[in-house]
Amino acid sequence: MLTILDGSTFCICDERGDLASGPTGLFAADVRRLSRFVLTINGERPLLLSSGKVEYFSAAFYLRNPLASLPQDSLSVARTRFVVDSLQERITIRNESTQRLRFTVGIDFGADFADIFAVKAHDFTLGHPENAPPLPPPAPETWNGTSVVLADGGERTEILFSQAGRRADGRSEWDVDLAPRERWDLVVDVVLDKRTDVAQAQFGRELQRVHDSLAAWRLRVPQLRGDSDVISSTFEQSVADLASLRMRAAGQLGTLPAAGMPWFMTVFGRDTVITCLQTLLFGPELARTGLRVLAELQSRADDPERDAEPGKIVHEVRQGKAAKHWFDRYYGTVDATPLFLILLSEVWRWTDDVALVAELEGPARAALGWIERFGDRDGDGFVEFERRTPRGLEVQTWKDSGDSQRFRDATIAQAPIAACEVQGYVYDAKVRAAELAREVWRDRALADRLEREAAELRSRFNDAFWMDDRRAYALALDRDKKQVDSLTSNIGHLLWSGIVPDDRVDGVVDALFGRSLWSGWGVRTMSAEDAGFNPLSYHNGTVWPHDNSLIAWGLARYGRWGECHRIARRMFEAASHFGWQLPEVFAGIARADTPFPIAYPTATRPQAWAAGAPVLLLQLLLGLRPNREALRLESAAPELPAWAGSLHLLGIRAFDRGWDVHVEDGRVRVEEA
């Protein structure tokens, strides 16, 4: 399958460019707006020569004629396609032979307007087609020779052709007569709203607009030059992937990252926040927009049907039919709310943007209120999750599959569950919010209270979650306050939060890099010593790049640079085996057992926080930290390992100024541009 996209509009097709079966289609606003689009010559599909993406929004397909009714290799067929707010394609057929050729070109098309969840259910790799409800039938069509309208209720797709054709045998057809070396062109414009005249007038201009947008993005992000092709190529792929995932939210001038292709091209609270945290090296624009959008979507009501309470940050947003199938807004996440506060603080630390912190004081205080009033469900001082709607997620942390909260013996824990990393996020959020309260909001009483609560949480957490026998922290506490005693990657997030006291850091680091958690390619989500471990299980033994990037951030926080660099090196090396594009997740099979990391069959690519991982890892490798008091970007890195080579990262933006970073002979130098 090949995917191209622009924001939340995307096209999934086969290697010949056809939308023919399975999850292929043109999607927008969580609805499949075109479910069939198949090119034929004399009723047969052309044969593949080569195809691939040109940019994230465009692709090219090079084909040759089928053999049933024409001489071999007598026709060359080129399909060039791009996606903006619509799909636009040019089909060029050239007679490569020495004789005149006559043939019929056909395009078979249709739209079922299925919601994205229904399509996903019919994909064998992601759903259970044998048990899935039937997909909607093709929508009725209205044909006039140069265009066709497919409409069903409130949904509408129009297909425009640059040449008049005829409708026959369920397809649109054109009779073509070509002399040797002569060519025939057809331009197809698939319009997803009623602005037909605008779409026709702007064919080509929209392609230039998206080209300009990508060029502007590449100029705005830092430019990397270095000896290491692995680092440079992975970084450049992340730049392109993050550009492709940008989406514009209603009422906002800027963009924010969608979670990932193809099923998550929408706002996800947790994913949005973590991606923005990972990419502050690019500047604050994505994060500022993300914060404002999440503040606007913040729950203001207690709504059990959505797992919503006042002050809670949204988990997922859906549109159209998908909103009816799932929720238009769903709040079943326990960690997005403290992460929202962490992001607000981190943007302030990189920018000294007092105005933004003042603007979002209300949403930030509401988030703190949710933690205090609703997050702690039973008054024990820890934040727990438990769904309140039967349609909601059973597990509401980043490991949100239903079987992820397992004891060492593989028994599944019962809610309400207090996940370990969530307590770390809450601790960090309170420490950071205290700083904002004291220095920006000028509320010293709130600052003092938050610092006191954070200290109490840290003490209480270390008493309740520490496992003496494993010299590490438990995954969670279950409904009976029993330790969920599996050993997982979540403990690395505790280093990132700062909740781990110095005398326990060695135990945590040893656990992370012991043979049971460390795969050789990265930290696994679950220890191989635990009964629930499976290197192919989504959250019980696989390796997640974003997870490892946050673990590396925690290691850097505690000055464990050797282990931080080890994660960075293996993540960059893993990327080289995936065409420089880190997937959402890959198998946790030991590096000693395989010469390359093993792909996870349903991993999302591109995925926002996977694309953000190399950006954060490069920041950590360089030891870059903002010094807000001095309004400077600084490096805390010791000498870099030899594998990193020389590096020059130019045009980092912090404190409204540009900064250049140079690495030569292992030494990092930061200077104002």
pLDDT tens for each residue of 567-617: 999 999 999 999 999 999 999 999 999 989 998 877 888 899 999 999 999
* pLDDT score recorded for residue 252: 64
pLDDT tens for each residue of 143-181: 988 999 999 878 899 999 999 999 887 789 999 999 999
* Residue 254 contacts residue 264 (beta carbons within 8 Å): no
The CA distance from 133 to 118, in Å, is 8
Nearest CA-CA partner of 405 in 461, 470, 483: 483
pLDDT tens for each residue of 92-126: 999 999 999 999 999 999 999 999 888 888 775 66
Residue 335 has pLDDT above 70, yes or no: yes
Residue 206 has pLDDT above 80, yes or no: no
* Mean per-residue pLDDT, 218-238: 93
The CA distance from 188 to 620, in Å, is 47
Note the pTM of the prediction, 2 decimals: 0.87
* pLDDT score recorded for residue 266: 85
The CA distance from 316 to 331, in Å, is 7
DSSP string, 651-668: EEEETTEEEEEEEETTEE
Q: Which residue type occupies 524?
A: R
Q: Which residue type occupies 630?
A: A
Using 50, 70 and 90 to split pLDDT, how confident is the model at 198? very low
Question: In this structure, what token pair is assigned to residue 368?
Answer: 């703190």
* Mean per-residue pLDDT, 54-64: 90
pLDDT tens for each residue of 619-645: 999 999 999 999 999 999 998 999 999
pLDDT tens for each residue of 466-523: 999 999 999 999 999 999 999 999 999 999 999 999 999 999 999 999 999 999 999 9
Question: In this structure, what token pair is assigned to residue 356?
Answer: 């933004």
Residue 222 has pLDDT above 80, yes or no: yes
The CA distance from 18 to 39, in Å, is 7
For 81, phi then psi, to 5°, come to -135, 145
Q: Which residue in the block uniquely carries the two structure tokens 């392109």?
A: 240
* Mean per-residue pLDDT, 548-567: 98
Within 8 A by CB and 6+ apart from 250, the residues are: none
Q: Which domains does the chain have, with CATH numbers?
A: 2-211 (2.70.98.40), 221-672 (1.50.10.10)
Using 50, 70 and 90 to split pLDDT, how confident is the model at 203? very low
Alpha carbon separation from 7 to 195, 275, 296 (Å, rounded)? 19, 16, 20
Considering only residues 209 and 58, tell me which one the structure prediction assigns the higher pLDDT. 58
Nearest CA-CA partner of 18 in 107, 114, 144: 107
DSSP string, 546-587: HHHHHHHHHHHHTT-HHHHHHHHHHHHHHHHTTTT---S-B-
Residue 62 has pLDDT above 80, yes or no: yes
Q: What is the mean pLDDT of the chain?
A: 92
DSSP H helical segments within 354-497, as ranges? 354-359, 361-370, 420-436, 444-465, 490-497
Largest CA distance in the chain: 88
* pLDDT score recorded for residue 171: 87
The CA distance from 247 to 250, in Å, is 10
* Mean per-residue pLDDT, 5-21: 90
Nearest CA-CA partner of 318 in 31, 527, 558, 618: 31
The CA distance from 530 to 488, in Å, is 9
* pLDDT score recorded for residue 253: 62
